Structure 1
Amino acid sequence: MSKPIIACWGFFDGIHQGHQALFKQLLINAKIDNYQTCIISFDMKPQSVINDNDNKVLLSDEDKIKTITKYNFDYYWEIKFSKRIAILSATQFISWLLANNIKAVVVSPNIRFGYQGQGNIKTLQQSPLQVYLCDDIIVNNNKISSTYIKQLLQNKEISKANFYLQQEPYTICGKVVAGIKEGRTINFPTANLSLSTNYALPGLATYITLTEVDNKWYQSMTVIMLRHNKPLVESYLLNFNQDLYGKVIRVRFLTFLRDNLKFSNLDDLKKQLHKDLADTINYFTNIN
């Protein structure tokens, strides 16, 4: 008979400090009590199915799996979340865990699960499962969560969001597509991204970033703006003159540069971009 399994479950968007604490606790308890380890994730955010909204994410599914894989868990199970799954009772979910050789779980003391969140820590402790607790990470009365990190990004607090993500600075991915090419007319050609995932973008502003092209990172500055009421992401890469159309690139946000401004003419825009460029070069000079 195979060794029993210890597991934790969730959507794990962002793999932030809170998730990392849960994973480390799982590995510690597995080693002490001789369990196999398992992460149970969902293919989409449960709230997006239950509420038909709230579908912005911090990580693409591909990047989430890559990050979780680094922990070398014995199993990674991804459940296709649906309304049928959403109406499972807490007792039914526990029965499913037990039927799959899961004998122990690592959870937050404030966990809610099952239909309408009817299950809680007491539900688990009264079941045959061995229950290990992992406290939430609280900083300045804020629980470190995907929701909190999204708020920081929306408020343009990039450095703070990156600190709580910890794995790597906030990164998005997309294919370079044709834009209005305004930047080319003032010698600031930008890569216009068609995003691969419904990312929770930082607030409308200009940021200092790194942009990855063909596995090489370039210093860059990136603007997030609204065009036709939709967010537009454009990156200007320093010391770069290759054709990017059709390439899939990654943009990593390092820090806030400035709020977006309205310009009455292209000359004023060009002057501001030269200032932005100087500030960006100064930033990278000082961190090296």
Structure 2
Amino acid sequence: MQILRWKKDFDSAPKIACLGFFDGLHEGHLKVIDATLAIAKENNLLSLFFTLSESVSDYFKKMNTKLMENKVKQELIATRGFNYYLEGIVNDEFINLTAHQFLTILQEKYGVQKVVVGQDFSFGNQKTGNVETLQEFFGKDNVTIIRRDPTSPASSYIRNLITNNHDLISANKLLAFPYSVTGIVEHGKKLGRTINFPTANIYLPRKCLLPYGVYVSETLINNRSYPSLTSYMVNSKNQEAVETYLIDQKMDLYGQEIRVLFLEYIRPNIKISSIAELSELINGDLNYWKQHYRIPSN
């Protein structure tokens, strides 16, 4: 799969594109994706997956409510068999594009001849573009509209499971990949080391969708998975901090990229008054993991 950069890399070979934000790649999104690939094969067209770097709402509010990291989405789409991946960079210039300007770029610069979208797809400045706009621009025969199954959970429903219900288990079942964050391990206070619970710390540029608290997690390092416990918090430096303890592992990870998959919310963060209290809390979390997640040895 070739990665194209918005308005930097151009390829005018004839293509069919699916258009949308595709946050979480849940069941409804996969119907749009599968239809795109099927039509591409039937019409001997190249396939292009188009998405956004972030939602317009997040851009204005300086938030991060995504269900899936951009890098994870790109990795998953590569496995589906698309020829091209194109991410529209949400900024003032992009937001101010009219619907016609946006479609003209797709057609003239990226060779898009046919499109597949969900029924509620909207685009362009002030969301003035919709499926009717697509039909007028490309022609009705070149626009495939995938109707939404009312019983299929939408992205907003999945977000609510995470933010309000703290239900990562149910949310992850609806996502194409467990909710995760990725970052480079940096130095922290090293408080956990004093009680033999060292953590790998990464810091996020914005508050993410995840509620603050302690989670059962899984950490990917160099394509290998390790069971872990993770605390997400705002630290004393006012940083969005993800602190992960790799169970039964001692590794020097400073400067390395890790991906933390959040599996289950255990409890809120608790203000501690002593190292002994911290040790007791972490041991309690570890016991929970042992009871519910540890694979018994033979």
RMSD over equivalenced CA pairs, Å:
2.8
**Is 2:64–2:209's contact at 8 Å kept on the other side of the alignment?**
no
**Is 1:172–1:199's contact at 8 Å kept on the other side of the alignment?**
no
> 2:128 maps to which residue?
118
What one-letter code is carried by the residue in structure 2 that aligns with 1:205?
G
Q: TM-score, normalised by structure 2?
A: 0.81
**Is 2:62–2:206's contact at 8 Å kept on the other side of the alignment?**
no
Give the drift of 1:220. 1.0
Q: TM-score, normalised by structure 1?
A: 0.84
Q: Deviations over 1:187-241 (max 9, x none)?
A: 222222234x647242111111111233322111111122234332111111112
Partners of 1:245 and 1:89 in 2: CA distance: 45
> 2:79 maps to which residue?
70
**Is 1:108–1:136's contact at 8 Å kept on the other side of the alignment?**
yes
**Is 1:90–1:113's contact at 8 Å kept on the other side of the alignment?**
yes
What one-letter code is carried by the residue in structure 1 that aligns with 2:148?
D
What one-letter code is carried by the residue in structure 2 that aligns with 1:160?
S
> 1:35 maps to which residue?
45
Partners of 2:86 and 2:293 in 1: CA distance: 40
Corresponding pairs, count: 281
Which of 74, 90, 93 pairs up with 1:84?
A: 93
> 2:114 maps to which residue?
104
The alignment status of 1:153 with 2:162, answered yes or no, reads yes
SS at match of 2:217: strand
Q: Deviations over 1:2-49 (max 9, x none)?
A: 974221223334333332221112112223344331112334444455
Which of 165, 171, 194 pairs up with 2:175?
A: 165
SS at match of 1:178: coil
**Is 1:11–1:46's contact at 8 Å kept on the other side of the alignment?**
no
Partners of 2:148 and 2:266 in 1: CA distance: 32
**Is 1:174–1:248's contact at 8 Å kept on the other side of the alignment?**
yes
Partners of 2:215 and 2:193 in 1: CA distance: 20
> 2:3 maps to which residue?
none
The alignment status of 1:132 with 2:155, answered yes or no, reads no
**Is 1:144–1:164's contact at 8 Å kept on the other side of the alignment?**
no
- Gap runs ≥5 in structure 2: 1-11
**Is 2:23–2:68's contact at 8 Å kept on the other side of the alignment?**
yes
What one-letter code is carried by the residue in structure 1 that aligns with 2:292?
Y
Q: Bigger CA drift: 77-86 or 110-119?
A: 77-86
- Gap runs ≥5 in structure 1: none
**Is 1:57–1:199's contact at 8 Å kept on the other side of the alignment?**
no
Give the drift of 1:70. 1.3
Which of 232, 244, 262 pairs up with 1:224?
A: 232
Partners of 2:13 and 2:245 in 1: CA distance: 52
Which of 25, 36, 45 pairs up with 1:26?
A: 36
Partners of 1:274 and 1:79 in 2: CA distance: 45
